[in-house]
Structure 1
């Protein structure tokens, strides 16, 4: 891909995650945690300059597992909530 071309967006409800780590094992550990929380498992692994690993993972954010669903629900502001009193 030419660096001047815009990167294609994933389909709605999905996210592309890039993990860069010094070792393949470290990248896999992070990918395993994401797979525990989100559906989808399309994974591609590439070497990085200097001997590291770059792992690309596509996750389905519309179909979350229980840990992610709980976190996502807790991180959303209540419906109809305005700014906090200390916010402009």
Structure 2
């Protein structure tokens, strides 16, 4: 992951891992209602099944729900990395 290129300024790469493709698509749809996005890409998640969906979001063009949330949110001292993140 250290060699993975960063997305362009104002964009975010989102990875969704779900037990079924339908669940992954529903999460992606919610994100698309908040941000402009590129084409999604789907991959098998594991040998046991599941779906991994990759989506590029344009955070510079936020829709109203995200615009309101982004304006009200700010990082705090309590923000922490999840155990599986670096």
Aligned mates of 2:39, 2:14 — CA distance in 1:
10
Unmatched 5+ residue regions in structure 1?
78-88
Kindly report structure 1 stretches of 4+ aligned residues shifted beyond 3 Å. none
- CA offset at residue 23 of structure 1? 0.1
Aligned mates of 2:36, 2:12 — CA distance in 1:
11
Corresponding position of 1:64 = 62
TM-score w.r.t. structure 2 length?
0.80
Between Structure 1 and Structure 2, whose CA radius of gyration is higher? 1
Paired residue total:
75
Deviations 1:20-73 (A, max 9, x none): 000000000100000000001321000122110000000000000000000001
Aligned mates of 1:8, 1:36 — CA distance in 2:
26
Instruction: Choose 34-43 or 53-62, whichever is displaced more.
Output: 34-43
Corresponding position of 1:75 = 73
Unmatched 5+ residue regions in structure 2?
76-86
Aligned to 1:29, the other structure's residue is in SS state: helix
TM-score w.r.t. structure 1 length?
0.79
